[in-house]
Amino acid sequence: MPSMEEVQRQLQELHVSDHRRKLMRKEIEELPNILKDNEKILRLMGGTYQTFTGMFIATNSRFLFIDKGYKGKLTLYEFKYDELLDMKYNLGWVYGKIDMLYLGKWIKLEMLEKEETESFFHFINDQRGSFSSSIDDSTVAEIKIEKEMNPQSHRKSGLFYEVSDLQIEERPEVKEKVSRWLGFKPLDPSQEQYIKKLKKRYFWRVFLAALILAVIVISLIVQSSLIEVWKFAVFLSVLWIGGAWVLQKELNEDINKKKSTSSLVIYKYCIRYWNSFFEYLIPNSGYRIKPNVTGMFLKYGFENRRNIKITRFFHFPKLQKDRIYYISYKMKKHTETTKRMGLYFELTLPKETRQSLKSFLLVPKGNKLKSEKYTLQQSLVAHNLYTEKAIPQEQLDEIISFLQPLINRDIGVAVKFHHHLEIYLAYFLETKEQLKSEEQIQQIIDGIHLWYAFYERSIIWRYGQFPAEWKEGEEQALEY
């Protein structure tokens, strides 16, 4: 490993300013323990990755992100040049941003120094490995995912991996965390710390917005007298303090559980605690699209009731090319909604499987289809299978075996495959408002434990094992 003197010499050759060295002092001090022999620093820049603020460095062999937190915790991410599949950058008003497709997943480098973002991007882009021009980026990404995730074991029919019986793991720590968030118990230290972070982040956002506004307005009246400028500054300060107080009050109300303690709140917290790669989007956070899927569900036989409106909403976007949605129901000509919700999975299959499997529909027996493309291939015990082209029995057996735990529970599961494997669980989750006991919380958690175990099982069925990031994320998520 290089000495600190060697690291400082390399930074000197890169003309890294003293100011920047002071800002990144903690990260630079870790470089002798991180860099390998004969590894040379070629680029250095500050920025953020995920929730960390630190230093990006590009060497002659790899690309690194380093953050030394204020408590001394070291965070290190390594990216290999030949596994960067695609890149793009964007320059904002103040900062730059670089998006990189790494092992089939887009990662974001944000809050980059605007003046150096473009040159940094071109340097990394030049370093990354080149792939055959006959293979497009999406194919390369899938090859990389297969390489990283799939063990050497062979699939049964060349399409899917074997899965064991569905095991629903009890997670008492999840119930404990949720009970505390909802006010049944005092918050634990990690939750208190998280709230402090939220408050600080909220405060500085308000402060930055007010500061920018002040600079803009003062620049417009700079020709006015000094007294008028001071009057305006006082007015702006009062406005900012009042606005910050109102927003802080709203934040505290949200954090201190003064909202209704509904089942949806529990679902949100369960997702967050299970795995950090799940991200729950609240409707008022910018994701407002709530598509009406009634026509689609009737067309493909997912539903047969004509007097109901079906809406797909809330999805978890940070999954490995998958999407999970909640489904709500509303009776036509009535304002009353049902007391249950559905779940809708869009699962991405590996490329080889996707190309080999023919389009099909598996719907509860008795449901009718509006689509003329699909014809009945086989009548099962509780479901009918419709296909565009015949599916080999071996492949069909694997699909049914995977879904059997849901079928055995008398869940009216419906499945469609066309590019994605779409799985619909009707009226699957309970919706309750104003929960008053931990027994009610447990009832809600039991249902969502089932679908989380099913989703875990789907990853093994499709890819053979969990990616390492998945298990690491699960461990980290429970910290909060």
- For the ranges 86-90, 113-117, 179-183, 421-425, the lowest mean pLDDT is seen at 179-183
According to the model, what pLDDT value does residue 361 have?
94
- Tell me 283's DSSP state: G
Sign of CA dihedral 458, 460, 466, 467: negative
Mean pLDDT of 396-403: 88
Q: What percent of the chain has pLDDT over 90?
A: 10
Residue 250 pLDDT more than 90? no
Backbone angle region of 385, left / alpha / beta, with phi > 0 → left and psi within -120 to 50 → alpha: beta
Distances (CA, A) of 134 to 129, 137, 160, 201: 15, 10, 27, 46
pLDDT tier at 184, thresholds 50, 70, 90? confident
- For the ranges 119-128, 182-191, 387-396, the lowest mean pLDDT is seen at 182-191
- Top pLDDT among 474 and 121 is at 121
According to the model, what pLDDT value does residue 260 have?
53
**Residue type (1 letter), 1:** M
Distances (CA, A) of 191 to 80, 198, 411: 35, 11, 36
According to the model, what pLDDT value does residue 240 have?
67
Mean pLDDT of 222-243: 66
- Top pLDDT among 21 and 203 is at 21
According to the model, what pLDDT value does residue 374 have?
92
- Tell me 72's DSSP state: S
Bridge partners, 86 (sequence order): 101
According to the model, what pLDDT value does residue 413 have?
92
According to the model, what pLDDT value does residue 130 have?
43
Distances (CA, A) of 176 to 250, 471, 480: 25, 21, 12
According to the model, what pLDDT value does residue 299 have?
92
pLDDT tier at 331, thresholds 50, 70, 90? confident
Mean pLDDT of 7-23: 85
pLDDT tier at 141, thresholds 50, 70, 90? very low
pLDDT tier at 216, thresholds 50, 70, 90? low
Which of 25-29, 183-187, 270-274 has maximum average pLDDT? 25-29
Mean pLDDT of 114-125: 86
- Decide if 453 contacts 169 (C-beta within 8 A): yes
Q: Coil, strand or helix: which one is 165? A: coil
| Average pLDDT value for the chain | 77
According to the model, what pLDDT value does residue 66 have?
92
Residue 314 pLDDT more than 80? no
- Decide if 158 contacts 350 (C-beta within 8 A): no
Sign of CA dihedral 397, 399, 404, 409: negative
pLDDT tier at 152, thresholds 50, 70, 90? very low
According to the model, what pLDDT value does residue 284 have?
39
Q: The sheet that has 74-79: what strands, in order across it?
A: 74-79, 63-68, 52-59, 41-49, 105-113, 95-102, 84-91
User: In angstroms, how far is the first alpha carbon of the chain from the final one?
Assistant: 35
Residue 317 pLDDT more than 70? no
Residue 221 pLDDT more than 70? no
According to the model, what pLDDT value does residue 422 have?
94
pLDDT tier at 307, thresholds 50, 70, 90? confident
Mean pLDDT of 97-115: 83
According to the model, what pLDDT value does residue 360 have?
93
The tens digit of pLDDT for each residue in 401-425 reads 898 888 888 778 999 998 889 999 9
- Top pLDDT among 464 and 131 is at 464
Tokens of 387: 């296909």
DSSP annotation string for 382-446? SEEEEESSPPPHHHHHHHHHHHHHHHHTT--EEEEEESEEEEEEEEEEE--SS--SHHHHHHHHH
The tens digit of pLDDT for each residue in 254-298 reads 555 444 567 777 776 677 666 666 655 444 333 445 688 899 999
**Continuous segment of H or E residues that includes residue 197:** helix 189-220
